[in-house]
Structure 1
């Protein structure tokens, strides 16, 4: 499949995602901003905790709103809400109001994610979704280093510019979708219960847990790897180089991996990626020199690039009509929990002994690999299903047509 087969609406969504990611600068410099506002360590920790805590419920809220009112409307509303909260957060000075506005920002800041995924699912044909989600993953990683560089430059001239850029790109994203994408998702004609359907889907739960484990290992890039670089006496500059190599590696490797690996079963690719990421991160314990660290970073970056967008596409294939937002929100919530737990657990395990953390990464990668292979044995490949069953399914299947395994059940799609 070539990228020119993707619908025009997808490229509009892609452009909005990239613009939004480039402007996502406030969170990265939040600790420095709060210090500049005169908050002490305890007050800063409270503000960050409130921001993170409300952020964990943001995606479930966004998923429910997306399925109820439409993904396009929810995405635009989420971006407008984020821009408003960013403006409020940038002008208040009292630490109490900073805490309140941080909580509001966390609550609305992730609403757009499940809505964006649901909108992509609705405008991109099933056979092209894997590629589409991979491209969005690539755009997010492309925007990350640009945002870091832009944020550092703007912060040196005043933190207010960070809020202007962040809020401005939220408005740009909202405007691009409001004007450029006329189509919107619509809920199922039949009533679908809240998150109960998604939670009872064991395949989706396995994918959520696998993704959370995958993310937990990758989160050690900002926890365990940072400690290791520090203890090796290599300094902050070396850690910055690690982050740059990871970001650039994703930008270069992800499109190549997407083209080379598209012929393989997605769950097998995900299994191999989990193994590579786990083994690569575990090898950090063997690194001593800058060359060692850079080589190891490239190894687990390769695994990260190989997995880009796969889980989102698989979850999209499982969701019934009218529940795409909630299925994607469940996946996003699992990602948030994985990051949260991995940050605390990584620091604790490293304090016990660095080797405990690195062995834990290897074990987590192996478990993700085994879970994906086990899941692949139970399921028909989504691509094979599409190859053999392109006829309408579920309620739209004409009388007399044979049922399509894996589709004509509670997970059927209109």
Structure 2
């Protein structure tokens, strides 16, 4: 008598298994929101062309946006723990829609500055709440997959949204503002309707607070690692375009074509490897990804052609894929359930700070020469990877303690 072997689960089913329905509502809302993310990639063009600002003034406006973003993560992290994840995420998206529309109709410099600071304050307020929601909803074993899927949705939506935004901008910038605002409202409505509140009971959530977060030396060390990782990656939107176009001499079309490799690789490769990577040791995996990211940017020092540039993009994109989902998983391991919003706020603060530091330090280093810039950036990546390896044993002990 023969016994039929049970069929192996399909790839799609393996990706869905273990993830609750509210997570998929969060994932779907994230995708819709990123499909409509059209304003920020074209903000500089909008400010200089549609509003007639000089490049220097547009830079000042973007710096004001960055200042708002720094404050955002700390405030939103507190709100996620105090009033709840769902309320913070939905409220942040509604506020983003309002500020986005206000910016579109602002015509004077004071109004533009106020709108940009307000937009910086609310546009990423959803991130600490989203991170805490995943940690609350998903079991530890499935968190790498869950965070990786959110990373994939963000990149897919952003790629489509940026392409559509470039086409729509020719018909008028207000289309971008309205579509972006509507996508934010759709995200808010979906989360409010389909995602339950997961914040722990009020008595537990009132213990600890920021003092407990700032006394957690392991979390602070991890934040430094995250800052190094984010500083390296932030070069993609700060110094990389300038260096490739102004120094190497690539055309904007050649630069855009090469950068498309990044999005294509993420969309095609990341879902295939996220499950396997999630089963590896998280600290070693994150360190490997950061190191590959740093090496990829260091090799940019030798780029002279579009093909060579695309080759370096392949390398650092593989590093980005390796890290996807792992950093969020480690964050969820470190954070007590009632402080997940605040811990995620510190994590987001590191990314916002890196976005400010990258053009400041990068511009100074590029003035010394492209090799100085890219070797320094690569060195930061390798130091961050070594730092992650150093704190790996402590992270494993924290994870074992949480499992007890």
Q: TM-score, normalization: structure 2?
A: 0.91
CA distance in 1, matches of 2:56, 2:302: 36
Q: CA deviation digits over 1:176-230, x for unaligned, max 9?
A: 0111113332355243343221222122112211111111112222344324422
C-alpha change, 1:358 and 1:370, in structure 2 (3 Å) is: same
CA distance in 1, matches of 2:316, 2:397: 26
Deviates more, 1:175-184 or 1:303-312: 175-184
Match of 1:412 in 2: none
CA distance in 1, matches of 2:319, 2:346: 23
**CA contact under 8 A between 1:282 and 1:359: conserved in structure 2?**
yes
1:26 equivalent in alignment to 2:39 = yes
Match of 1:304 in 2: 320
From 330, 351, 371, the counterpart of 2:387: 371
Match of 2:289 in 1: 273
- 1:41 Cα deviation after fit: 3.4
From 177, 199, 210, the counterpart of 1:195: 210
SS in 2 for 1:34: helix
CA distance in 2, matches of 1:225, 1:92: 30
CA distance in 1, matches of 2:218, 2:47: 42
Match of 1:151 in 2: 165
CA distance in 2, matches of 1:348, 1:137: 31
Match of 2:178 in 1: 164
From 222, 244, 247, the counterpart of 2:237: 222
Match of 2:26 in 1: 13
Match of 1:66 in 2: 80
Aligned residues: 388
From 39, 42, 45, the counterpart of 2:53: 39
CA distance in 2, matches of 1:147, 1:342: 25
C-alpha change, 1:239 and 1:382, in structure 2 (3 Å) is: farther
RMSD: 1.8
CA distance in 2, matches of 1:112, 1:304: 22
Q: CA deviation digits over 1:33-84, x for unaligned, max 9?
A: 2221233334323322221111111111111011001100111111111111
Q: CA deviation digits over 1:271-293, x for unaligned, max 9?
A: 11111111111011112222211
1:112 equivalent in alignment to 2:101 = no
SS in 1 for 2:171: coil
CA distance in 2, matches of 1:109, 1:317: 26
From 179, 183, 205, the counterpart of 2:220: 205
Match of 2:9 in 1: none
1:233 equivalent in alignment to 2:249 = yes
Instruction: Please list, as runs of the form range in 1=range in 2, the aligned pairs for 1:339-378 lying within 5 A after superposition.
Output: 339-378=355-394
Match of 1:334 in 2: 350
Match of 1:245 in 2: 261
Match of 2:102 in 1: 88
**CA contact under 8 A between 1:17 and 1:173: conserved in structure 2?**
yes
Match of 2:339 in 1: 323
Match of 2:91 in 1: 77
- For structure 2, list consecutive stretches of 5 or more residues without a partner in the other structure: 1-13
SS in 1 for 2:17: helix
**CA contact under 8 A between 1:187 and 1:321: conserved in structure 2?**
no
Q: CA deviation digits over 1:104-150, x for unaligned, max 9?
A: 11111121111111112111122211111111111111112111111
CA distance in 2, matches of 1:302, 1:73: 35
Match of 1:391 in 2: none
CA distance in 2, matches of 1:283, 1:42: 31
Q: CA deviation digits over 1:222-267, x for unaligned, max 9?
A: 3443244222222111211222111211222222231332332011
The structure where helix makes up a greater share of residues is 2
SS in 2 for 1:174: helix
1:125 equivalent in alignment to 2:143 = no
1:182 equivalent in alignment to 2:234 = no
Q: CA deviation digits over 1:345-388, x for unaligned, max 9?
A: 112101112111122122112212211211123332677x3xxx
- 1:296 Cα deviation after fit: 1.2
**CA contact under 8 A between 2:136 and 2:337: conserved in structure 1?**
no
SS in 1 for 2:337: coil
1:258 equivalent in alignment to 2:271 = no
C-alpha change, 1:220 and 1:42, in structure 2 (3 Å) is: closer
Match of 1:397 in 2: none
CA distance in 2, matches of 1:286, 1:104: 41
